[in-house]
Amino acid sequence: MSIYWGDLHNHCNITYGYGSLDNALEAARGQLDFCAVIGHAMWPDIPKSRKEWEYEVNYHLEGFRKLREGWDRVQRTVSEANVDGKFVTFQGYEMHSLKYGDHHFLSPDDKMPLLEAESPGALMEMLAAYPVMAVPHHIGYPPGQRGANWDSFREANSPLVEVYSKHGCSMSDESAYPFLHTMGPRDSRSTVFHGLRQGKRFGFVASTDHHAGYPGSYGDGRLAVLATAKTRTAIWDALMNRRVYAVTGDKIVCGFQVNGADFGSIIQDAPLRRISLSVRGCDRLDKIVVYKNTHPWKVICGEELEMAVQDGGLDGGGMFGADRSGVGTYKVRVELGWGKPAEAFAWQGRLAIDGGSIVSAETCFRGRSVLAPTPEMGDDDNMNKLDQRLHSLSEAEAEWTCASFKNPTTLHPATAAVIFELAGGTGTRLRLTINGRDIAVGLGELLEGSRSYPMGDLLSETVLVHKAVPECAYTFAGEWEDRERLSGNDFYHAEVRQVNGQYAWITPVYLDEAL
C-alpha cells in the first residue's frame, strides 16, 4: 500500500466562498492525489431571529440556495474531474448545526442527492441507499456552539473526525494551534481526547476548510491515506477503514503499527503489543510522542536523533562521512515571500545542482488566506487561479512557479516554498534562478545555517534558503514492546512535531477484547 495526500473539506464559490470550482480542482491536482470540494448546504438550527447576525444569516442562506441551484453542474464537474490513477474526487456537502456540531457528508457515488434534514443522523438515514460518511469538523468549538456532540456520535456513520483545519487543532487542551476565529475558543469537552476517552473509535484527518477555492493550501490541513491504489474505490476503502492520518501541511510520511496492524485497525486484544513507528519528515524532527489511551507512553526528543548519530562516530564518519565530505541525503527548503505586495506576487524559480542530485521535491503552496466571507470581499472566479506548479523535475534541475502574499500578521505566514531532497555533500552547489536573479550557495554553507536574498531594497520580497537538514534529523524508526495491559480496549496513537511547527497526528490502532 502507498501513502496518498488529500483535502476532503474546502469551499469555493459554488456556495458562499470565493473562486471557481474549476480553478479549485486545478489547484488540488497541483499538490494532492485526491480531494472533495464541497458546498455549504444547510443549517437546520440557524439563529434567524437575531438582528445582529443578519449579515451572517443572509450569506449562509444565499450560499445554500446557490448550491441547490447549481447542484447538477457541481456534481457533473466533480465526477468528470475523477480520473482513477491520476486524481481522485469525491462528492460532498456540508451541514452546520449548533446542537450536533458541523459535519460534511462525503460519497464516492456521483448520484448522491442533495437532501435536507434536521440532524446529521437523520440525513444519514435519508442517504442510506448511498455509500456516505458524515465527518465532524472543527469539533473543538464549545458544545452547543457548533463544537462536537459526542453523545450523538456514531462510529458507523463517522469513521473519520477532522482534528485540524484552518480553525485550529481539536486534539486536546494541550495541543498547539488553539481556536482564534470569531466562533470562539476550544473547549476540552469537544476535543478528540475527550471522545477517545469515552471509547469512541475513529480515524484522524485534517483538511483546510479553505474558503477561497484552494484545496490543500499549505499549513491549513491535509490528510494522508494508506491505500492500495490511487483510485476512488481504493481511497474510499482506506477512508472507511480509518487508514488515515492528519498533517498540518508538510507531507510527513509515517508508518505506525501494533502487532503488525496499520493505523486505524481494530485488532484482537493481546497481552503483548509490539509497536512500531517510522517517520520520514520534511524538516528537523522536534518531538515524537506515542500515546497509550491518550497518555504519553514513549517520548522521543528530536535533538537526540542527531546527537546519537554524531556520538556514533563523527570521528569515523557519522553524519559527515568518513572523509568529512558529508555525502548523504539532505532536505533544503526554498521559501519565497515577505514584502508587501497588494496582490498575489508571482515567482518563477529554477534550481540546478552541481556535484549532487535532486532526489525529490515537495511543494508548499497556499491560496489566499480566507476562512469566512466578509462584507468588503467581492468574488472573482479567478482569484484562485494562481498558476502554482512544479513544471519539471529531474536529478539535475527543477523548475516551478508559485505565488506569495503579504504576511497577514507577523505571526501568520503567506509564503510559498519547495522542499528539495538532495543527495550530495559539502561540495555540492545549488544554483538558483529566481525571477531572473542568480543565486549560488553551497550545501556546506547551508549546513551551518540559512541564507536570505532580498529581491530589492528593504521591504522587498525575499528568498529564504533554509538551513539544510541531514537525513538523520528528519527520519526516525522505533520499535517497542508493551506487556502492560490496562484494559481489553487499550489503544495507541502518535504525534510527530517538527521544529517548524508542522505536525502529524497518527490515527490509533484500537485493541478490542470483544473481537
Name the site residues for Zn ion (rule: CB under 5 A).
209
Minimum Å gap between C-beta 467 and Zn ion is 36
User: Can you tell me the distance from the alpha carbon of 252 to that of 248, in angstroms, rounded to the nearest whole number?
Assistant: 9
Minimum Å gap between C-beta 210 and Zn ion is 9
Judged by CB, which is closer to Zn ion: 234, or 239? 239
User: Can you tell me the distance from the alpha carbon of 240 to that of 404, in angstroms, rounded to the nearest whole number?
Assistant: 36
Name the residue among 36, 27, 129 with its Cα closest to residue 75.
Answer: 36
Q: How far is CA 207 from CA 11, 19, 175, 283, 458, in A?
A: 11, 18, 17, 21, 36
Judged by CB, which is closer to Zn ion: 98, or 353? 98
Minimum Å gap between C-beta 61 and Zn ion is 16
The residue at minimum Cβ distance from Zn ion is: 209
Helix, strand, coil % over all residues of the chain, rounded to 5 = 20, 35, 45
Q: How far is CA 366 from CA 31, 180, 407, 504, 514, in A?
A: 10, 20, 12, 19, 45
Minimum Å gap between C-beta 31 and Zn ion is 20
Compute the CA torsion angle 163, 169, 175, 176 (nearest 10 deg): 140
Minimum Å gap between C-beta 317 and Zn ion is 51
Question: Which value, in Å, is the radius of gyration of the alpha carbons in the chain?
Answer: 23
Q: How far is CA 414 from CA 165, 338, 364, 487, 503, in A?
A: 16, 8, 11, 46, 18
Antiparallel, parallel or unpaired: β 285-292 and 491-498: antiparallel
Judged by CB, which is closer to Zn ion: 38, or 509? 38
Cell of 51: 438582528
- H or E element at residue 426: none
> Do 192 and 173 meet the contact criterion of CB atoms below 8 Å apart?
no
Judged by CB, which is closer to Zn ion: 68, or 350? 68
Minimum Å gap between C-beta 162 and Zn ion is 9
Classify residue 378 by its DSSP letter.
Answer: P
Judged by CB, which is closer to Zn ion: 7, or 209? 209
Judged by CB, which is closer to Zn ion: 146, or 366? 146
- H or E element at residue 205: strand 203-206
Beta pairing partners, 501: none
CB-CB neighbours of 174 under 10 Å: 9
> Do 233 and 260 meet the contact criterion of CB atoms below 8 Å apart?
no
Judged by CB, which is closer to Zn ion: 139, or 266? 139
Minimum Å gap between C-beta 9 and Zn ion is 6
Classify residue 172 by its DSSP letter.
Answer: -
Minimum Å gap between C-beta 213 and Zn ion is 13
Residues 6+ apart with CB under 8 A from 58: none
User: Can you tell me the distance from the alpha carbon of 425 to that of 328, in angstroms, rounded to the nearest whole number?
Assistant: 6
Q: Look at residue 39 and give its three-state secondary structure.
A: strand
User: Can you tell me the distance from the alpha carbon of 375 to that of 398, in angstroms, rounded to the nearest whole number?
Assistant: 41
Judged by CB, which is closer to Zn ion: 183, or 359? 183
Judged by CB, which is closer to Zn ion: 209, or 286? 209
Minimum Å gap between C-beta 247 and Zn ion is 19
Judged by CB, which is closer to Zn ion: 209, or 490? 209
Going 232 to 237 to 242 to 244, the CA torsion angle's sign is negative
Judged by CB, which is closer to Zn ion: 209, or 482? 209
- The torsion angles phi and psi of 253, rounded to 5 degrees, stand at -90, 120
Judged by CB, which is closer to Zn ion: 209, or 461? 209
